[in-house]
Amino acid sequence: EVQLVESGGGLVQAGGSLRLSCAASGIAFEPYSIGWFRQAPGKEREGISCIRSSDGATYYRDSVKGRFTISSDNARNTVYLEMNSLKPEDTAVYYCAADQGYSSSCGWVVTTHYEMDSWGKGTLVTVSS
C-alpha cells in the first residue's frame, strides 16, 4: 500500500518561502510519478507540479512556474516542493499524490483536473498579505 505523508506547511508572509516534503513508502512499481496538488477554500483541487521517476522530468502549472521547484531525494524516498515568492492566492491545503506503473500522468496533472491514484492527507499553507 502506498503511503504519502506531507509536512512543512505553515504561515508565511507574502514574498516568503516554504519547502514542503512528501515522504513516500510502499511504491512497488516503476515507473511512477509524484505530484503536488492544492485546494484553496471554495475551489477545486488542482495539480501544480509533478516529477517522473523514469527520467526525473518535472512539470509545472503556469500559475507556479518560475516560483516553485519540485525535486526528489530517492535515497530518502522524499519529494520536495520549494515555494518562493509566495502570494496570498497560494493559500491552500497542499497534497502530494502518486501514480505507479506508468509515467504518462504528469502532463495531465498540470494541465487538467486529473487525479492520481494515491494521496496524502495534506498540509496547510497560509500566505498572509
pLDDT digits (tens, 9 = 90+) for 13-26: 999 999 999 999 99
What confidence category does residue 128 fall into, taking pLDDT thresholds of 50, 70 and 90? very high
* Element counts in the chain: helices (H) and strands (E): 1, 11
List beta partners, residue 58.
Answer: 51
| pLDDT score for 29 | 82
Q: What whole-number distance in Å separates Cα of residue 101 and Cα of residue 107?
A: 16
All three cell numbers of 123, joined, read 498540509
29 or 100: which carries more pLDDT confidence?
Answer: 100
All three cell numbers of 91, joined, read 493559500
**Unique residue bearing C-alpha cell 512528501:** 22
All three cell numbers of 22, joined, read 512528501
